[in-house]
């Protein structure tokens, strides 16, 4: 029987990746795809820079990579850990990729308070649970979790 996933440890890995993204000059968002046994399958930072792709969110890009790399049978047992709550676009990508679970740090509501109306991140205050609830298949959602830790990489970015 598989061991339960250590959500806090895996989410901290995603948060650390968001700090690494910031250090690399990218918006401080990151996501990791985790297999059913807790193995990290893929890591993705935001892909906004250098081409200013407004759809280059870490979660959306990760779902494109995952759905073109892994079979649906595996993806339906996978979890995405993301430093911030998936926006409506990213939640849609997660839904269509067929993942089992989302674990996130910073809520969209808290992110919106941090970013304000910054033109590079006009945050949608729409909980991912609402997006998933409109679907025909259940996606488990855990979060917000470790919000203070998840907010730290954003300090001084959006001011």
List active site positions: 59
Question: Which residue shows structure tokens 């059913």?
Answer: 36
**Quick check: bond before 50 cis, omega within 30?**
yes
Buried b or exposed e, range 68-93, using 16+ CB within 10 angstroms: eebeeeebeebbbbbbbbbbeebbbb
Peptide bond before residue 8 is cis, with ω within 30 degrees of 0: no
d(CA 78, CA 80): 7
């Amino acid at each position: 029987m598989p061991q339960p996933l250590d959500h806090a440890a895996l989410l901290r890995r995603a948060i650390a990746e968001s700090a690494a993204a910031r250090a690399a000059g990218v918006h401080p968002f990151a996501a990791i795809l985790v297999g059913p046994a807790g193995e990290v399958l893929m890591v993705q930072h935001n892909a906004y820079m250098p081409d200013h792709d407004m759809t280059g969110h870490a979660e959306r890009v990760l779902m494109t990579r995952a759905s073109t790399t892994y079979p649906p049978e595996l993806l339906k047992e996978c979890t995405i850990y993301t430093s911030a709550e998936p926006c409506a676009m990213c939640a849609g990508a997660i839904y269509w990729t067929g993942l089992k679970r989302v674990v996130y740090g910073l809520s969209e509501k808290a992110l919106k308070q941090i970013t304000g109306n910054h033109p590079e991140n006009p945050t949608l205050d729409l909980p991912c649970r609402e997006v998933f609830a409109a679907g025909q298949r259940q996606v488990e959602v855990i979060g917000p979790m470790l919000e203070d830790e998840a907010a730290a990489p954003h300090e001084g970015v959006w001011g």
